[in-house]
Chains A and B, each alone.
Chain A
Amino acid sequence: MAIFVNEKTKVLVQGLTGGQGRFHGLRNRDYGTQIVAGVTPGKAGQDVEGIKIYDTVESAVAATGATASFIAVPPKAAPAAILEAARAGIGFVVCITEGVPAQDEARVFATLQRDFPKTRLLGPNCPGIISPGKCNIGITAGEIAALPTVTGPNVGIVSRSGTLTYQALFELKQRSIGVSTCVGIGGDPVPGTSFVDCLAEFQSDPETHAIIMIGEIGGTAEEEAAEFIMTHVTKPMSAYIAGVTAPAGKKMGHAGAIVSGGKGTAQGKMDALRSAGVKVGLNPTEACELMAQITASM
């Protein structure tokens, strides 16, 4: 099982001939991901280490039956690339591009919602997704992720931050706790996929037995997740929120990580999650220790 992607997922890479696309695309293939095509306008017929390049997503899908897209193109080109994938019928789009303007993100999200409701976008500005042992799309180093076990318990991870996601994967591996899927939803103001989307999937995934959520300051996504958890999530959870000490009004590296007008504070988010029954750690290690206690008692 796992969520969103698995061993059957066929992935094309938009921007495979660029530096980032090539580096991560080939790493993903080495991990075992089915990378079936690359897309770069004007470069049809070329190949990147045996992966055929097509001019358009549409032609790549027609030739290979790709179901997912990995977008690694510059910020200027990302909105059009996402919509091109959606138009070609791609169901799952992962966009790692950092620096996409918020107005573009809002327009892309609203367009997907209106015209392409079957396409799910992960990102932009996200590390991607890994279902260990099955499929890795994005920039996560596959070797730090523990494989899920047949008997479980396995943990699902959902996070707004890249490095903290790796930290969580690493800590779980050190404790020999299996991971079903790890989703980085990204740190931008309008992420295509939210905490709630991932929590709903994890809740109905038989391979996932518990969930770690890593949030950060800014916006209200964690508060919305807490509300959803109260009514829809029965699987045990631990969480960590980064940015307790962040000064108000400053963007902390991620475009979406800003406390404004007293809203979006780490404290408010931690309180909301606690009242939804989530065990909240004060640092990433503590959140993983809490998860180890949860899985040990299962």
Chain B
Amino acid sequence: MDLFEYQGKQYFARYDIAVSAGGVALTVDEAVTQAELAKYPVVIKAQVQVGGRGKAGGIKLANNVDEVRLHAKNILGMNIKGHIVKRVWVEHASDIAEEYYASFTLDRSAKRHLLMLSAQGGVDIEHVAVVDPTAIVKLHVNPVEGLTLDAAKRAVADARIAEKAQDGVAAMLVKLYECFTKGDCDLAEINPLILKPNGEVHALDAKVTLDDNAAFRHPEWDEYRLTEELDERESLAREKNLQYIGLDGSVGIIANGAGLAMSTLDVVNQVGGKAANFLDIGGGANAELMTAALEVINSDAKVKSIFINIFGGITRGDEVAKGIVEAMKRVKLRAPIVIRLDGTNATEGRAIIAAAGLAESQLISRPTMLEAARSAVEIAGKK
């Protein structure tokens, strides 16, 4: 789960990482209230999970109440690369002497934590990586040993961070590592990490991605769930506990297993179609699950055909077939189903579907993944 900047800052604050005083606002009036609390001058920042906010006009400085009203009015509701701004973060404007970059991620290849640190912050770090790779210090941290203050100090010196900022940045790295590990982040990034003229360092921005698998030990994440920007289909799928990702094609997809679901998208694409979604119903493809999956697919007006791709392993084909037939009694579908059923007890499963006496306009069965994809794409194209 990706956090908004203001949530990231609140999360950082839990680990004692210095952030600017500020608050979140959903309306112009709330922005004014937050500005008064934070003290002028303030910065008003659009809360969207996409880069390039500044260039799009989503970050503005305000010196008084009139400027706050003007900017907050402009920014709220703004469309930044397809993301509508619903909230702004209002914080006291910081004096900036220097801007740095710091992040922790998991380096999957090395199976170690990775610190990236640069004295060139405030800009796109991937750009720095291309034009001046030596400006980024990379330090692998053994997850069992953790990051010591000494190791952080060496990294800070290697990155040629200004002398008077070194102790502060090193101390902040240790806290950021704590946040990354104990806070179960996939990514904890500060860009820019600023040095103020008075010698203090603090996080001017926050980019945090949380590991959903760790939600069981973080009740404090519940509030972040409330602001997650899911489309209607994704919200419905979450309610029903399905692994669903909305896409913009016209072939609805249901498959068992993440790999097979991904593969189904690929095959649909290969034969000239576009998938409307990714949906993995997992192992037990019974009537309940199948009904839930079909309801979610059916809520998508763009869907013109539904491709059900099931490979029976332990899940038996006859059980899947019963599930589909039963689900079709419960849900009135807007589009026909093309099914490919293979694996354990597939023959029995196909017989059950045939015996259900469904019209060709409702359901057709194809023996292979490729043939089923072709039929589904053809139907979607015709409508």
Contacts and interface: CB of A to CB of B under 8 A. Distances in A.
A253 B343 contact: no
Given A114-B144, A139-B314, A253-B280, A164 B257 contact: yes
Nearest to A171: B342
Contacts of A216: 259, 262
State the main secondary structure of chain B at its contact with A.
mixed
B344 interface: yes
Contacts of B113: 106
Contacts of A103: 143, 181, 184, 211, 214
A7 interface: no
A220 B109 CA distance: 6
A290 interface: no
B259 A160 contact: yes
B106 A247 contact: no
Interface in B104-163: 106, 108-109, 111-113, 126, 142-145
Nearest to B257: A163
B57 to A, nearest CB: 24
B105 to A, nearest CB: 9
B269 interface: yes
Interface stretch (A36-44, A52-60, A200-208, A277-285): A277-285
Contact of A164 (B213, B263, B268, B314): B263
**Max count, chain B CB within 10 A of own CB: residue among A75, A76, A102:** A102
Contacts of A141: 312-314, 343-344
Given A107-B143, A162-B257, A101 B313 contact: no
A294 interface: no
B344 A110 contact: no
Given A101-B213, A242-B266, A283-B270, A144 B258 contact: no
A102 B314 contact: no
Contact of A283 (B126, B142, B247, B370): B370
Interface stretch (A9-17, A146-154, A230-238, A254-262): A254-262
B146 to A, nearest CB: 10
B256 A163 contact: yes
Contact of A221 (B108, B181, B266): B108
A46 interface: no
Given A106-B106, A143-B344, A221-B108, A285 B369 contact: yes
**Max count, chain A CB within 10 A of own CB: residue among B266, B275, B278, B342:** B266
Contacts of A76: 216-217
Contact of B258 (A101, A219, A254, A283): A254
A130 to B, nearest CB: 11
A272 interface: no
Contacts of B283: 139
A128 to B, nearest CB: 11
A220 B110 CA distance: 10
A217 B265 CA distance: 13
A291 to B, nearest CB: 16
B78 interface: no
B166 to A, nearest CB: 28
A51 interface: no
Contact of B211 (A102, A166, A244, A254): A102
A161 B108 contact: no
Given A103-B211, A245-B265, A246-B265, A214 B216 contact: no
**Max count, chain A CB within 10 A of own CB: residue among B111, B113, B214, B280:** B111
A228 interface: no
B319 interface: no
Contacts of B181: 103
A65 interface: no
B311 A243 contact: no
A4 interface: no
A252 B267 CA distance: 16
A19 to B, nearest CB: 12
A88 interface: no
B245 A250 contact: yes
A163 B106 contact: no
B10 interface: no
B213 A282 contact: no
Interface in A94-108: 99-104, 106-107
Given A285-B369, A285-B370, A256 B262 contact: no
**Max count, chain B CB within 10 A of own CB: residue among A114, A140, A284:** A284
Given A253-B259, A254-B259, 16 more contacts: A101-B211, A102-B106, A106-B143, A109-B143, A110-B142, A141-B312, A141-B314, A144-B344, A163-B257, A163-B259, A216-B259, A242-B262, A242-B263, A245-B275, A283-B267, A285-B370
30 contacts: A102-B213, A102-B214, A103-B184, A103-B211, A106-B111, A139-B283, A141-B344, A144-B344, A161-B257, A161-B259, A162-B258, A162-B259, A163-B255, A163-B260, A163-B311, A166-B313, A166-B343, A170-B311, A216-B262, A221-B109, A242-B259, A245-B265, A246-B262, A252-B245, A252-B261, A253-B257, A253-B261, A256-B108, A266-B266, A282-B270
Interface of B: 106, 108-109, 111-113, 126, 142-145, 181, 184, 186, 211-214, 216-217, 243, 245, 247, 255-263, 265-270, 275, 278, 280, 283, 311-314, 342-344, 368-370
